Structure 1
Amino acid sequence: MTAVANGADEWRSWRAAAREALYGPRGFYRRPEGPAGHFRTSVHVSALFARAVARLLCRVDEALGRPARLDFVDMGAGRGELVTGVLAALPAEVAARTRAYAVEIAARPEGLDHRIEWLPEPPRPVTGLLFANEWLDNVPVEVAQTDAAGAARRVLVRDDGTERLGDPVTGAEAEWLRRWWPQTAGAGWRPEEGRRPGGEHPAEHGLGAEEGLRAEGGHPTEQEHRPEEGLRAEIGLPRDAAWASAVATLERGLAVAVDYAHTRETRPPFGTLTGFREGRETAPVPDGSCDITAHVALDACAAACPLPGARLLSQRAALPLLGVTGARPPLALASTDPAGYVRALAGAGEAAELTAPGGLGDFVWLLQPVGIPDVLAP
């Protein structure tokens, strides 16, 4: 594929290069086959996922007192697979009150349900459920790497994927590293800088820890923090801003972000930037030929929206709360209803894939209620 930038020899920041490669006129997300032609999300694995989101929307509906108009916003909608599945799974009475929106930069697919409004950005105000499945991981970010002196420098890239180190990371980006990815923050990091002004901890604002997911870990001493050369980080400021902007559209309801994620105490030492093409992981080359993605610091995204009740939950914990389990059907069903047994067995297999440790079950859900109680409380 022809490079999407002005020239293959041009050095650019990863954020600029990825933005053009993904969303430019000839970018990856403009391709006719859509994301499903290159990788499978939970939406593509099984209709069970859309049904679970439909159940979640019904719970939000109940918490809102069954309003005359109930909004469902699908952020990063791809080709409308999730929003279509949710509408199909809703009870008729709820579907009649639901206004469905697909937020996507690609053109509206032909034949999409006429009830779905196709938008380049979320509507406002929203009363209902805003659901962002694998959206934030494709919000481009800057990449930083420590040099021989332990200082964090911006990584520059050419269209063929060649990299070199640029200027030191400064300003708001340096502050973000100190607070959220301190092992790459460079000299001068102080333990207290990992906390909010006033000393608050995200857990004190409702960002709970479940199944090993924590908002922030312990604070190493300055002596322990000696960044070695080659450590990498993805600076999540654009994702924090994107999520805060999306949540701000909610008047009342629930915002959910689902992505591969990590938290402050479990940041990977060499980052997670990668590419996907035709179902396989590949080098992240910003020429428009592949997806470019990186795991999300969802704890930082949550802190960008100072609202009570936010929490992180693994997908393997969230989906069972919405009726998706991998339990095998009773064997007796095979003799009384063979076709039903086969269907139930297939559903159990799909549910197991959606919740599998080491796979889709490791996705993290960020739940951010606005003016309603926690609708996923056990």
Structure 2
Amino acid sequence: MTDEWCGWREATRTALYGDEGFYRRPEGPAGHFRTSVHASGLFASAVARLLVRTARELGSGTVDLVDVGAGRGELLTGVLAALPAEDPSLAVRAYAVELAPRPPGLDPAVTWCSGVPSGVRGLLFANEWLDNVPAEVAEADADGVVRRVLVRRSDGAERLGGPVTGEDARWLERWWPLTRPGERAEIGRPRDEAW
């Protein structure tokens, strides 16, 4: 146990993607909740149809499909399985972008990588990703000064840290101004940059 304090962005990153983080545990997210990817094959079939349309628009018989935040590769596996019914001649290079290790038994046609590959020509899909980009939390103190909210690693207790400055302050002023003491906001600049 430690009394070390950090910002919410770091705490969230550790909780989600650290060595013992949520997305790196053996059961993965599917052990806790279901998303459209896990609910049925309908979603993968819809993405397969979109991929075929994308290939036609590009005028290509070969297309890339990149799933950012691919989890265990369920969406890519489903799309690859659905493609023959949509266009059996379409060649697909499938990329799973994920920080967690490649799951055993994943279709060898799926390339596992930690970042978006360069030169992608096709469809980049990020259905489960953007909402998991960690962000800092800010709160207006009793004097109206907007400060970072810090969290203690050992027990999750919070306290206010230093004032929010620079690009983060400008982002808050533009997109989520805090006007009353006690008001909180996520500083969404990392999500904007990721997007």
TM-score class, shorter-chain normalisation, is over 0.9
Specify the code of the residue in structure 2 equivalent to 1:120: S
Q: Could you give the per-residue CA deviations for residues 77-105 of structure 1, whole angstroms, max 9, x where no partner exists?
A: 11011011111111364564110011111
Matched ranges for 1:360-371 at <5 A = none
The equivalent residue for 1:72 is 65
Q: CA deviation at 1:239?
A: 1.3
The 3-state SS of whatever aligns with 1:51 is: helix
Task: Give me the whole-angstrom Cα distance separating, in 1, the residues matched to 2:80 and 2:93.
Answer: 9
Change (3 A) 1:94 1:71: farther
The equivalent residue for 1:155 is 149
Sequence identity, in percent? Answer: 67
The equivalent residue for 1:135 is 129
Task: Give me the whole-angstrom Cα distance separating, in 2, the residues matched to 1:50 and 1:139.
Answer: 23
Specify the code of the residue in structure 2 equivalent to 1:162: A
Q: Could you tell me which of 59, 62, 81 is aligned with 2:56? A: 62
Mean Cα deviation higher: 170-179 or 37-46: 37-46
Change (3 A) 1:8 1:90: same
The equivalent residue for 1:231 is 183
Runs of 4+ that moved beyond 4 A: 92-96
Q: Is the 8 A contact 1:50 1:82 kept in 2?
A: yes
The 3-state SS of whatever aligns with 2:121 is: strand
Matched ranges for 1:26-175 at <5 A = 26-65=20-59, 67-91=60-84, 93=87, 96-159=90-153, 160-175=155-170
Q: Is the 8 A contact 1:143 1:235 kept in 2?
A: yes
Q: Is the 8 A contact 2:52 2:90 kept in 1?
A: no
The TM-score, its normalising length taken from structure 1, stands at 0.49
Task: Give me the whole-angstrom Cα distance separating, in 2, the residues matched to 1:150 and 1:56.
Answer: 48
Q: CA deviation at 1:8?
A: 3.2
The equivalent residue for 1:371 is none
Q: CA deviation at 1:68?
A: 3.7
Specify the code of the residue in structure 2 equivalent to 1:15: R
| Structure 1: 5+ residue stretches without partners | 1-6, 185-226, 244-378
Task: Give me the whole-angstrom Cα distance separating, in 1, the residues matched to 2:33 and 2:2.
Answer: 26
| Structure 2: 5+ residue stretches without partners | none
Q: Is the 8 A contact 1:87 1:95 kept in 2?
A: no
Task: Give me the whole-angstrom Cα distance separating, in 1, the residues matched to 2:89 and 2:22.
Answer: 33
The TM-score, its normalising length taken from structure 2, stands at 0.93
- Give the number of equivalent residue pairs: 193
Q: CA deviation at 1:122?
A: 1.3
